[in-house]
Structure formats: C-alpha cells, structure tokens
A = this chain, B = another copy of it.
Amino acid sequence: MATGSYHHGNLRAALLERAEEVLVKDGAVGLSLRGLARDLGVSHAAPTRHFRDRQDLLDTLVTEGFGDLNHRLREAAGSAGPVDERLTALGRAYVVFATERSALLEIMFAAKKEEGAGEDLRRLAHVSLEIAAGLIGEAQQTGAVRPGDPARLAQVAFSAVHGLAVLAVGGLLDGTPVDEATDLTLNVLLAGLGAAP
C-alpha cells in the first residue's frame, strides 16, 4: 500500500517507523536523521521537510508513545471489576508498556527540560497521572483508599510503577521476574494507600 509519489510516498510515516526500529536497536544516541535518510534511500536533507529538526522527530515519537500509554491506561482503568482490581490492572498495564517499549519510555521521560515543545509533552504525561487520580478517587469512595488529594496519591502510585519499570529495564531486578516484582510493588502500594494516614 501507499503508492510512491516522488521517491517514497509517505516519507514522514516511513521515517517514524524506521526511527523506532533504530531506537530499539541502538537507543536515542544512535538515531540520526542522515542515517534514517540513508536507510530509506532518500537524500540526507529530505527528513527536514517533515521534521523541523531532530528533536521534532523525537518529540513526535514521544507524543505517539504517550498516546499509546494513555490508551492502555484508560482501558485498564475502565475495565469491569472492583476498583482495587482495576488499580492493579492499571499498574500492570504501565509496567507492561514500559518494558515493551522501553526505548521509547526512556526518551519520554528524558528531554523534559526542553522549554518550548516540552509544555505539550508535559500535558500528555499529565493525562497518565489524571487517569490514576480518577481511579483513586473512585477507590476512596468505597473506602479502599485513604482520604487525601487524589492527585497527590496518584503521584505516589505513579512513582511506584515507574520506578519499578526503570529497575526492570535497567536489569536491576536480579532473578526476580518482572511480574512478581510488579505484583509485590502493587501489593505494598495498595496496602499503603489503604492504611489510615
């Protein structure tokens, strides 16, 4: 599909696709616009027609990544079942995403100090937190979670699963299978959230 219009048809989409392949294989360091152009058989200047600069391409990947993540989180949060099971599902979904797309996760939480486009990305990251906060608010109504600002408790929950993902991706879990580490983390987290302040 996609009939080649000039040289490629949809160079933009091809660049993004190839970029994530390179990202998985060599990390963000090994990703160059000239390299992508070479891989796709176009001139080295062609990518700049579709992305202002290298960072713009990276930001586009990150945006897509947050889209996928937030979609998965919404599915987990909205599934059937009691609220504590949905909280567990939410945590697991995060860790699954983080380990499946670890190269992407790394750049999602890296270039957060860029001033310009960083604002949009921060808003997207925020959505993840808001999904967690919504579910925690629900859980507070059933008494499964202690009282308190749901946004702040969501920060705590996010910290737990994100930190675990970093350990897993960094190979610091030793022999512990990721699933077991995840379940233990979520068990401790939910026990802690449930306990009286």
Contacts and interface: CB of A to CB of B under 8 A. Distances in A.
Interface in A166-195: 166-167, 169-174, 176, 180-181, 184-185, 187-195
Contacts of A125: 170, 172
A152 interface: yes
Interface residues of A, number: 47
Interface string A153-172: 10110111111101101111
19 contacts: A27-B111, A113-B171, A122-B171, A152-B176, A152-B180, A152-B181, A153-B184, A153-B188, A155-B185, A156-B160, A159-B162, A159-B163, A159-B164, A159-B166, A163-B163, A163-B166, A190-B192, A192-B192, A192-B193
Query: Which 4 pairs from chain A and chain B are nearest by CB?
Result: A192-B192, A163-B163, A159-B163, A188-B192
Interface of A: 27, 106, 109-113, 122, 125-126, 129, 148, 151-153, 155-156, 158-164, 166-167, 169-174, 176, 180-181, 184-185, 187-195, 197
